[in-house]
């Protein structure tokens, strides 16, 4: 993976194009480390996730899993479980963070790549992108957050359609289902995703981050817990200089329109 921090935007890039950006053991460990970094570094105000080559991500590297383990020996189920756990740590860090994430999806997404893509809160997809599961084709079950993040995005019935059949969804259908946020021509994906990230950083970025965190974590807590968190969060934000200036500006503009 490639990574950089510029003007508050952490730019993470899947960079194994010859393997369709599928994650092997080494890439999984780097993903975990980067996920924990962007979730904890106050200098990171937004994340841009993208990929090199023709595909966005094919999930776990099945070819690597079928040939050699982390120590160079044959792969056992325990190796696969350990590898998934490492990648899951990065996914959890990003999803549960207060940093908004935009993904630039320029190509095909398959298997666990769906879960990695869905760590993003805003997904810009190319009009030529394709989306599929492929787990059942090789006798495996979903990992990398797919069993949770996919139904959260598109509903349980459609998620089951993807994981129980050999179905490939085009970009237009992905947009209709809510799998992606917007679809643009392939040559506009990178620029549009960067504009989204820059917009967050240049705006009320603390509020964007807290809004993302509240929505992402809300489904896993009681309603009362969510209400308490909302109340505490909006109060804390209200005391920031950024919010006070924006609230005052909004109030002044409203009074002007009434007069």
For 87, the 3-state DSSP assignment is: helix
Mapping DSSP to helix (H, G, I), strand (E, B) and coil, where does residue 127 land?
Answer: coil
Tell me, what's the pLDDT at 253?
86
CA distance 174 to 203: 28
The pLDDT assigned to 140 comes to: 86
Residue 61: per-residue pLDDT: 82
Q: Are 201 and 45 in contact (CB under 8 A)?
A: yes
Handedness of CA 146, 152, 156, 161 (dihedral sign): negative
Asked whether the predicted pLDDT for residue 68 surpasses 60, the reply is no
Using the predicted structure, report yes or no on whether residue 70 has a pLDDT greater than 60: no
Assess contact for 56 and 113: CB atoms under 8 A: yes
- Contact between 128 and 186 under an 8 Å Cβ cutoff? The reply is yes
Say yes or no to pLDDT of 71 above 90. Answer: no
Report the catalytic residues. Answer: 88, 143
Torsion sign (Cα): 71, 139, 220, 211: positive
DSSP string, 137-202: GGT----TTHHHHHHHHH-HHHHHHHHHTT-EEEHHHHHHHTSSSEEE-GGGHHHHHHHHHHHHHH
Containing 38, the helix (H) or strand (E) segment is helix 25-40
Mean pLDDT score, 115-133: 97
**pLDDT tens digit sequence for 217-233:** 998 899 999 999 999 99
CATH 3.90.226.10 spans which residues of the chain? Answer: 2-202
DSSP 19: G
**What is residue 67's predicted lDDT score, i.e. its pLDDT?**
64
DSSP letter assigned to residue 22:
-
Please write the tens of the pLDDT for every residue from 89-111: 999 999 999 999 999 999 999 99
Strand-pairing partners, residue 104, are 124
Written out in words, the top-level CATH class of the domain with range 2-202 is alpha beta
Q: Which of 163, 139, 137, 136 is nearest to 149 (CA)?
A: 163
Q: What is the mean pLDDT of the chain?
A: 93
Q: Is the pLDDT of residue 58 over 60?
A: yes
């Amino acid at each position: 993976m490639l990574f950089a921090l510029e003007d508050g935007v952490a730019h993470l890039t899947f960079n194994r194009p010859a393997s369709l950006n599928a994650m092997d053991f080494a890439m999984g460990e780097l993903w975990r480390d980067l996920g924990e970094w962007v979730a904890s570094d106050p200098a990171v105000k937004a994340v841009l996730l993208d990929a090199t080559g023709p595909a966005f991500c094919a999930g776990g590297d099945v070819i690597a899993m079928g040939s050699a383990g982390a120590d160079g020996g044959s792969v056992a189920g325990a190796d696969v479980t350990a590898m998934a756990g490492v990648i899951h740590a990065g996914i959890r860090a990003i999803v549960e963070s207060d940093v908004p994430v935009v993904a630039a999806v320029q190509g095909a997404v398959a298997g666990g790549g769906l879960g990695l893509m869905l760590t993003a809160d805003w997904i810009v997809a190319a009009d030529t992108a394709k989306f599929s599961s492929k787990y059942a084709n090789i006798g495996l079950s979903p990992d990398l957050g797919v069993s949770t993040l996919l139904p959260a995005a598109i509903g349980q019935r459609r998620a089951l359609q993807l994981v129980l059949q050999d179905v490939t969804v085009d970009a237009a259908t992905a947009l209709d289902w809510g799998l992606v946020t917007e679809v643009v021509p392939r040559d506009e994906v990178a620029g549009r995703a960067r504009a989204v990230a820059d917009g967050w950083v240049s705006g009320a970025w603390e509020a964007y981050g807290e809004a993302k965190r509240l929505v992402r974590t809300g489904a896993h807590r009681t309603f009362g817990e969510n209400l308490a968190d909302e109340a505490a969060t909006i109060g804390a934000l209200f005391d920031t200089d950024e919010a006070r200036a924006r609230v005052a500006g909004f109030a002044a503009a409203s009074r002007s329109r009434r007069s």
